[in-house]
A and B are shown apart, each in its own frame.
Chain A
C-alpha cells in the first residue's frame, strides 16, 4: 500500500517534471511533406516552401516547420511515419504523391492528433483533412476561354494543346470547351502535348502544316507554350495578332508579360506557391483566433501587364 502510493507519487511528479521540461521549449511542430522536385513546377514549389519556412519561423519563434521531400509514394509514407514518431508533429501540410497509397498514412498522422492540411491533390477518402488548399483546374480552363472570347470573334479558329491524359487535364479541357461553346469560335483540333516543351513544339508544327488559318492557341501550360511559340516563330506565323495562352505562372512567361510580349500577353495562374499558402494557413490554425478549417480554393487569376509584377519571383526556379 505504502509502496504503491510512493510509486504513484513518483509517477505523478515524474510526469509533471516531463510536462514542465516540455513546456519550457514547447514548439509548435509542423511537418511539410511533398514530392521531390523532378520538374520545374515542383522545383518552384520547393523554393516557395523554403521561403515560407524562413518567413514563418522568423515571424513566430515558437513555430518549427520541418520540410521533407520524397522521391516516391512509399518514401513519402515512411516520411510521414517519421514526422509522427521522431518529430511528434502537431500539424501536417502534405501534397500527396498519389491519392490512393497515401490516404492511410495521412489517416495515421491524423489519428496521432495532428492537424492535417492537404494541398492540391485530394485524398481518396473525404473527411480526413482539416483543411484543403488547391488550385482550381476547371477555373483555369474557364478563365482561359473567357480571355479567348475577349480577343476573338465569331468564326475565328483556335487549336488546343492538352497535357498528359489525366483528371487534371480533363477538368481544364472540359471547362474550357464548355465556356467556348456558343461563342462561334472554332476549336480545330486538340492533341496531347504532355506538359512538355518538345511535344508542344512538334504538335504545334503539325497543327501549322495542317491548318492554314489559326488565330490563337490555347497551350494550357507554360512549358507547352514555350514549344508552341518556337514553332510559330519557325513557321513565321507569329504575327497578325496571333496569341498563345499558357498556364501556371512560369517566371519567364511572367517576365514576358511585364515586358509587353504580344505573342503571350497573358497567363493563367496555377501557382506552385500554393504550398506557401497552405503553410501560412496551417500556422494560422495554431495562432489565429479565427477558424481555419475548411476548403481554400485559389482563384485561377488572369495575369496581365497590370498585375504581373506581383506574381514575378525571379529567384524561383519556376
Chain B
C-alpha cells in the first residue's frame, strides 16, 4: 500500500512534462495509420478497419490479462499454448455433445462454459505453482507452455481438430456478425478492456497488484495477501485467454498445434509497448489496448504494400516496436536531467 501511494506521489509532479509518455502509444498508432493511408487509401476503408479491430481482439483480450500479471511482477509465457489447448478441448466437447444436446445454442454454451472453467483452472495452476510452489513464473509458464502445446497435438493426433459443421453454423455469428456496426469480438474486447481498467485503477485489488510489482517484500509487510493476489492475476489471465478462445474458435472452427503460436510474445509486446513496466509496479490497460492495435496494424500495413521484401517483414515489425517503445520511454523534456 505504501509503495503504491509512493509511486503515484512521485509520478504526479512529473505528469505535465511527460505527456508523450502516456500519449506515446497513441502517437505511434496515429503515425502508423497515416503511413497506412498514404501507402494505400483502402487502408481506412470500413472493411479494413473492422478487420483490424476484430483481429486485435484476440491479442488485445489476452494482453489485458497479461497487464495484471506483469504489473504484479510476474510473466506468463503459456497463453498461446493455453489458447490452443482450450480451443482443442472446446471443439472435442462440442463435437461430443452434438448427439445429446443437438447442434444448437446449448452445445455452444457448453463449449464456452468449458472454456471458462479450463481458463480459470489453467491460470490457477500457473499461479499456484508460482506462489505456493515458489518456482519462478518464467519457468512455471515455460513448462506449462510446453505441456498445453503438446496436449493439443495429442488431442488432435498430430493433425487438426475440426468443429462439427452444423455447430459451426450456430457458432459462426459470434465471430462474423456485428452489433451497431461493430463485430461481436470487438464488443467483447471493449467489455474486457473496461472491466480490466476498472479493476486495475479503481479497486484495492489493482493497487495491490501495483504494490506487489513495485516491491513484493514491502507489500507483504503491509499485510497484503501477496500469494492470493498474485495467483488471482494468473487466474484473470486464464479467464482472458478463455474469452479470446471463445471468439477465436468460430472464426475457422478448428484447432491444431499451430494455433496461437507466439501469441504469448505478442501479448507481452502489446503490454510493454503500451507503457506497462516489464519488471512490474506500473500498469496501463489503455496503453495495452493501443499496443495490441499497433501490433495488428503493423502486420496489416505490411500486407498492404509490396514496397518491402516479404523476407523483411520481421525486420519492419521489430523496428516499429522498438521505435514505439522508444517514443514513450524517452522523457523528452526531461532529457539531460537524470531520472530519479
Chain A positions near chain B (C-beta within 8 angstroms): 36-40, 42-44, 46, 162, 165, 189-192, 196-198, 201-203, 205-210, 223, 226-227, 230, 234-235, 252, 317-318
Across-interface contacts of A44 in B (CB, < 8 A): 159
Across-interface contacts of A209 in B (CB, < 8 A): 42-43, 45, 47-48, 51, 304
A-B contact pairs, 26 of them (CB 8 A): A36-B158, A39-B158, A40-B156, A40-B158, A40-B159, A43-B156, A43-B157, A44-B159, A165-B311, A191-B310, A192-B313, A197-B252, A197-B254, A197-B256, A197-B258, A198-B252, A201-B251, A206-B304, A209-B51, A223-B160, A227-B252, A230-B252, A234-B176, A235-B47, A252-B162, A317-B158
Which 7 pairs show the lowest CB-CB distances between chains A and B? A37-B158, A43-B158, A317-B159, A206-B303, A43-B159, A209-B48, A40-B159
Could you list 13 further interchain pairs (A-B, Cβ under 8 angstroms) beyond the known A37-B157, A39-B158, A209-B47?
Answer: A36-B158, A40-B160, A40-B256, A42-B158, A43-B156, A46-B158, A192-B313, A197-B254, A197-B258, A198-B252, A226-B252, A252-B162, A317-B159
B201 at the interface (CB under 8 A from A): no
B259 at the interface (CB under 8 A from A): yes
| Interface mask (B237-266 → A, CB under 8 Å = 1, otherwise 0) | 000000000000001101011110000000
Minimum distance in angstroms from A135 CB to a CB of chain B: 19
Across-interface contacts of B252 in A (CB, < 8 A): 197-198, 201, 226-227, 230
Number of interface residues of B (CB under 8 A): 31
The contact of B55 among A40, A202, A223, A318, by CB within 8 Å, is: A202
Chain B positions near chain A (C-beta within 8 angstroms): 40, 42-43, 45, 47-48, 51, 55, 153, 156-160, 162, 176, 251-252, 254, 256-259, 299-300, 303-304, 306, 310-311, 313
Question: A43-B157, A206-B303, A317-B157 are contacts. A38–B48 as well, Cβ < 8 Å?
Answer: no
Across-interface contacts of A190 in B (CB, < 8 A): 310
State in angstroms the CA–CA spacing of A209 and B301 once bound together: 11
State in angstroms the CA–CA spacing of A38 and B159 once bound together: 7
Indicate if the CB atoms of B42 and A38 lie closer than 8 Å. no
Across-interface contacts of B299 in A (CB, < 8 A): 202
Secondary structure at chain A's binding surface: helix, strand, loop or mixed? helix
State in angstroms the CA–CA spacing of A162 and B309 once bound together: 13
State in angstroms the CA–CA spacing of A150 and B83 once bound together: 42
Minimum distance in angstroms from B172 CB to a CB of chain A: 10
Minimum distance in angstroms from B147 CB to a CB of chain A: 14
Minimum distance in angstroms from A214 CB to a CB of chain B: 13
Closest A residue to B176 by beta carbon equals: A234
State in angstroms the CA–CA spacing of A223 and B255 once bound together: 12
Closest B residue to A204 by beta carbon equals: B303
Closest A residue to B153 by beta carbon equals: A38
Closest B residue to A205 by beta carbon equals: B51
State in angstroms the CA–CA spacing of A198 and B254 once bound together: 10
State in angstroms the CA–CA spacing of A259 and B187 once bound together: 38
Across-interface contacts of A210 in B (CB, < 8 A): 40, 42, 303-304
Interface centre among A42, A201, A206, by most B CB within 10 Å?
A: A206
